[in-house]
Amino acid sequence: MPTPRSVVTYMTNRSRTPAGHDIIGRRAVAERLAETLGARYRGDYDGAERYDPPPYFVPDDALEHARAHRLGIAGADDLFGGVVPRAFVATKAITHGLRDPDAAAPDGWSHAFAPRVEGAVLRGYTAFTRDDALAAVRELLDGCGVRLKRCDGIGGGGQHVVASVDQAAQVIDAIDPATLADTGIVVEENLGDVMTYSVGLVTAGGLTLSYCGTQRTVRNGMGHEVYGGSTLHCARGGFSALTVLNLPSQARDAVEVARRYDEAALACYPGMYASRRNYDVARGVGADGSTRVGVLEQSWRVGGASGAEVRAMGAFLEDPALERVRASTVELYGLSPHVPTDAFVYFRGADAHGTPLVKYATLSTDADA
């Protein structure tokens, strides 16, 4: 009988210092994933250790081809996450096209992607120089302002809403020109009354599940509005399987634009593959009062909703007749929050500012979307 694969976590950038709760939470989700797949969790990957057979990886970010190859990753069955031909492909940079076809862009940039996702993303541009970014601001500036998003920002970080070109210049000038040329900045229309949907697809252990859900925000100990969790309505199978959920029209719109984005990425960046594909979709009101719907960015790595994804995966694997479940992640700040007794708690401690924080995932198998 062959030796089962083990599961390991992997940090793509050891110089990065993410909040301790992110690292601890990711390890706990990976350990739960290993249990769900009937495998052993062996902690963080150690290049000096011998793994036989090669392990199943849970990296903190999408991997470039060269690194994936060195680790022995050959396809989507070898990791919980994704592999991309160039690092920028895994960032929000690809969501928008260049304002000018001759504008500066990194090697490997696909000019075919933007036309394919027109109408599936908000109005905006990606720029890799100060002049190109300010030209985009001048074109898009309206009564709601424009949103500037650093493409190397994580979890909503590095974003600013500006109401003038001068304000935009201050934001852009704070970025090192070499960093701007390498990672880029998104200039995007700003919406009011926004609802953010999570649409995703996960394949692992011979199972494929898809989902559509909504995100919520909470205030952390510093008073800032931050991610507070997601509620996912999950179905067994790919995006087409979500029809069994009888989703409302707004959610169906979110699924459709996410599906278009997903197909475009796979087509325009050959060699990309991912077992965990998640898309944030915004629905809101533009400056002219009309409704806008569009993908904000993709996540081809373990993410904030992965605790819920793993719980849903476990339910589907345990009961082959099960067709749909509802799974949620919750992040709560403060002392003594209520945690359901059947919750999967993947972090309990303090955030980077010392505020008490608990993260957990729940599951309901009698869910009706």
- At 104-122, the pLDDT tens digits run 999 999 999 999 999 999 9
Angle between helices 20-36 and 306-318 (to 10 degrees): 10
CA dihedral 91, 14, 29, 303 (to 10 degrees): -10
Q: Is the pLDDT of residue 15 over 70?
A: no
- In the predicted structure, residue 19 carries a pLDDT above the cut 60: no
Tell me what pLDDT residue 14 has. Answer: 55
Which of the two residues, 335 and 346, has the higher pLDDT score? Answer: 346
Q: State how far the Cα of 361 lies from the Cα of 304, in Å rounded to an integer.
A: 10
Confidence tier at 366 by pLDDT (50, 70, 90): low
- Domain 193-364: give its CATH architecture: 2-Layer Sandwich (3.30)
Which of 5, 290, 3, 297 shows the shortest CA–CA distance to 143?
A: 290
Q: How far apart are CA 231 and CA 75, in angstroms?
A: 29
Give the span between the Cα atoms of 121 and 247, in whole angstroms. Answer: 21
Label residue 144 by pLDDT band (50, 70, 90).
Answer: confident
CB 45 within 8 A of CB 10: yes
What's the average model confidence in pLDDT over 214-222? 88
**CATH class of domain segment(s) 91-120+123-189:** alpha beta
Sort 77 into a burial class: Cβ within 10 Å, 0-12 / 13-18 / 19+: middle
Q: 288 is written with which tokens?
A: 């002219």
Query: Measuring CA to CA, which residue among 328, 294, 324, 331 is closest to residue 311?
Result: 328
Check if 91-120+123-189 and 193-364 are the same fold: no
Residue type at 210 in one-letter notation: S
Please write the tens of the pLDDT for every residue from 314-326.
999 999 999 999 9
Helices (DSSP H) in 55-175: which residue ranges?
65-71, 113-117, 130-140, 165-173
pLDDT digits (tens, 9 = 90+) for 225-280: 888 999 999 999 999 999 889 999 999 999 999 999 999 999 999 999 999 999 99
pLDDT at site 223: 83
Has residue 17 got a pLDDT over 60? no
- Evaluate if residue 52 carries a pLDDT over 90: no
**Is the pLDDT assigned to residue 1 strictly greater than 50?**
no
Phi, psi (rounded to 5 degrees) for 65: -50, -50
Bridge partners, 170 (sequence order): none
Domain range annotation of the chain: 6-87, 91-120+123-189, 193-364
Of 282, 15, 24, 250, which is closest to residue 156 (Cα–Cα)? 282
Q: Which residue has the higher pLDDT, 367 or 8?
A: 8
> Residue 104 class from Cβ within 10 Å (0-12 exposed, 13-18 middle, 19+ buried)?
middle
How high is the pLDDT of residue 3? 55
273 membership: H or E segment, kind and range: strand 273-274
